[in-house]
Chain A
Amino acid sequence: MIVTLDYESELPLYSQLYDEIVRGIADGSLTSGDSLPSVRSLAGDLSINLHTVNKTYQRLKQEGYVQIHRQKGAVVQPLGSVPATPEFRAMMSRQLRSLAAESVCRSMEEEEFVEQCRSAYRSLKGEDPS
């Protein structure tokens, strides 16, 4: 599974890496039991700081997406093992409100907004976006 980072993006590198790995778990590129590279190895491959990778792995662990084993390192957990907690729903609501606000400001129709959301969700599930 290939991850791409933009070194000049406003979004922090650890955040980009986190999003990429979660996307990989969602679309099946990373499956239950897959071992992520060691912190040192991934930091070298992506030319980023060790602490950036470590921070990403710790956040993935806190959210329940991976478990950190002494010998295997970070191991992906089964899909669905992380429930949609009230905290997650609250975060999702905040982010959607921001996106919705920008869409309204840019005169985007509700149908198009909903269609974009549906398409993004379905593409991760491997379903036909239409």
Chain B
Amino acid sequence: MTNELAAWLVLGGTYALTTGATLLQPSLAPSNILFGVALPAGRESDPEVLRLKRSYRSGVFGLSALIAAIAAALAVLNGGGSEEELSVWTSALPVAALLLQLAAAGGWFVLSHGRTTRLKEERGWAEEEESRGAADLTIRSRQRLAYPLLWFLPHLLVIAISAGAAALFYDRIVDPVILHYNAQGLPDRIEPKSPGAVFGLNLAQLTVLAAFLFANYTIGAARLRLAPGAPQEHRDQQVRYRRGMSMLMLLLGLGILVFMGATQAFMLYGSGGQDGVWIGAIGLVPLLLAGGSAFGMMRLGRGRRDAPVPGEDANWKLGAFYWNRNDASVFVEKRSGIGFTLNWAHPLAWLFLLALIVLIIVVPRVVG
């Protein structure tokens, strides 16, 4: 397998994965939520609702295919350039195509959200909404909604082994150190050996672990409303769903940390450019992890329902962003996909975002 082929495989696979995820959006959301709008019981199979779903899927598929075709044509037309030009096309073009696809899908989602809102108004479906609310007083004290911190010890062990090996073999690590490979699998960032250069990826591992710990925490802490019509059934479904998501976070986090450890090993103990093919192949690993996680999430989220309260549609801006000053919850279940999101009207939500920005952007710069 050539470097370029491996790169296109990884990037093409990423494009296919995100296209698939955006196409499946109407199915990933709770069954009684359509493009961020709550549907009353029994309206999920309305012909107009099904038509909106079909319109979204065909529109997003068409746009995604068009973008992919244009990107492929541009890649072929510019395939005879110099190595540097080729690297730019190999790196920038797929990323641009991906961003464009996400923007197109996002735009079509917003359009569909507007159409669904108008449909609900025209049909007077707001009058049919459930006027009751239900909750379980003892669920958090008697059951675990997410796996506890101890389950993340293996993750810490992986980081310790990676950092420990780098410390143990520090003197044998070649100077300078390869810090980044381009999309073709060739080193494109090399720096003099230093503790920052050698242990930088371990710091990144700690950041990733922190992100997964946070994600796991939100699963347990998120608002848990129950459907008043069938509260026990809904509660049991929620427990299965949240525990499943928590296990997924554990496994995905572990996979990513192991991958990062292996990458560090290639960078520090590998033989440089000749490892380009292996790096390209290894680039498929996060793709496989992402694909597997997406599949797992789809299976977990299948058939689940939300328990909206009357008038809540107005709090979901563009159907995707939750803003409600009157809601004490910081974390709520997503309406436009699988998982949980923040209540952006809550001050803590912005603190969490700031902490994330500091972790992802500021800390690596300070260490570097």
Enumerate chain A interface residues (CB-CB to B < 8 A). Answer: 1-8, 21, 24, 29-30, 34-37, 39-50
Residues of chain B within 8 A (CB-CB) of A49 are 326
Given contacts A4-B228, A7-B309, contact A46 B138 (CB under 8 A): no
Complex CA gap A39/B329 in Å reads 11
Interchain CB contact (< 8 A) of A2 among B141, B235, B328: B235
Q: Are B137 and A24 in contact (CB under 8 A)?
A: yes
Which residue in chain A gives the minimum CB-CB distance to B222? A44
Q: Hey, which chain A residues are within 8 Å of B327, CB to CB?
A: 44, 47
Q: Of B51-59, B128-136, B163-171, which stretch is located at the interface?
A: B128-136
Task: Indicate if the CB atoms of A34 and B138 lie closer than 8 Å.
Answer: yes
At the interface, yes or no: B194 with Cβ under 8 Å from chain A?
A: no
- Asked if B132 contacts A6 (CB within 8 A), the reply is yes
Minimal Cβ-Cβ distance residue in A for B225:
A45
CB–CB B131/A6 < 8 A: yes
Does B231 reach chain A (CB closer than 8 Å)? yes
Inter-chain contact A7/B138, CB cutoff 8 Å: no
Q: Which of A21, A41, A47 is in CB contact (< 8 Å) with B133?
A: A47
B320 interface residue (CB < 8 Å to A):
no
CB within 8 Å of A: which of B26-62?
none
Q: Residue B138 contacts which of A8, A30, A50 (CB distance < 8 angstroms)?
A: A30
Q: CB-defined interface of B230-263 with A at 8 Å, one 1/0 digit per residue?
A: 0110010000000000000000000000000000
Closest to A36 in B: B137
Chain B residues, CB < 8 A from A24: 137
Chain B, residue nearest A4 (CB): B134
Cα of A4 to Cα of B138 in the assembled complex, Å: 14
B199 smallest CB distance to A (angstroms): 38
- A41-B138 in contact (CB<8A): no
- Expressed in whole angstroms, the Cα–Cα distance for A35 and B226 within the complex equals 19
Cα A30 to Cα B329 in complex, Å, equals 24
| Residues of chain A contacted by B133 (CB below 8 angstroms) | 4-5, 7, 46-48
Taking CB atoms, residues of chain A closer than 8 Å to B328 are 39-41, 43-44, 50
Which B residue's beta carbon lies closest to that of A13?
B133
Q: Which B residues touch A41, using CB under 8 A?
A: 140, 328-329
- A residues near B231, Cβ cutoff 8 Å: 2, 4
Residues of B within 8 A of A34 (CB): 137-138, 141
Cα–Cα distance between A17 and B332 once the two chains are bound (Å):
22
Contact A44 B132 (CB under 8 A): no
B326–A8 touching, CB < 8 Å = no
- Are A37's CB and B140's CB within 8 A? yes
Minimum CB–CB distance from B134 to chain A (whole Å) comes to: 5
Closest Cβ of chain A to B133, distance in Å, is 5
Could you tell me if B329 and A7 are in contact, using CB atoms closer than 8 angstroms?
A: no
Expressed in whole angstroms, the minimum distance between the Cβ of B331 and any Cβ of chain A is: 9
Q: Does B193 contact A (CB under 8 A)?
A: no
Tell yes or no: B68 within 8 A of A by CB: no
Separation of A45 and B135 alpha carbons in the complex (Å):
6
Q: Which residues of B contact A5 (CB under 8 A)?
A: 132-134
B339-367 contacts to A (CB < 8 Å): none
List the A side residues contacting B232 at CB < 8 Å. 2
Of the candidates B224, B310, B312, B326, which one forms a contact with A45 in the assembled complex, judged by CB atoms under 8 Å apart? B224
Q: A7-B131, A7-B310, A40-B328 are in contact. Are A2 and B226 (CB under 8 A)?
A: yes
Chain A positions within 8 Å of B135 at CB level: 2-3, 37, 42, 45-46
Nearest residue (CB) in A for B324 is A47
Which residue of A has the minimal Cβ distance to B223? A44
How many Å lie between the Cα of A35 and that of B223 in the bound state? 18
Sorted nearest first, the 7 A-B pairs with minimum C-beta distance are: A44-B329, A45-B135, A43-B328, A44-B223, A8-B131, A4-B134, A47-B309
Contacting residues, chain A, for B226 (C-beta < 8 A): 2, 45
- The distance in angstroms between the C-alpha atoms of A37 and B137, with both chains bound, is 6
Q: Known: A44-B329, A45-B225. Is A3-B132 also a contact (CB below 8 A)?
A: no
In contact, A30 and B131 (Cβ under 8 angstroms) = no
Contact across chains for A42 and B309 when beta carbons are under 8 A apart: no
What residues on A are CB-neighbors of B309 within 8 Å? 7, 47
Cβ distance A34 to chain B, nearest Cβ, rounded Å:
6
Given contacts A7-B309, A45-B223, A50-B328, contact A1 B134 (CB under 8 A): no
Residues of B near A36 (CB, < 8 A) are 137
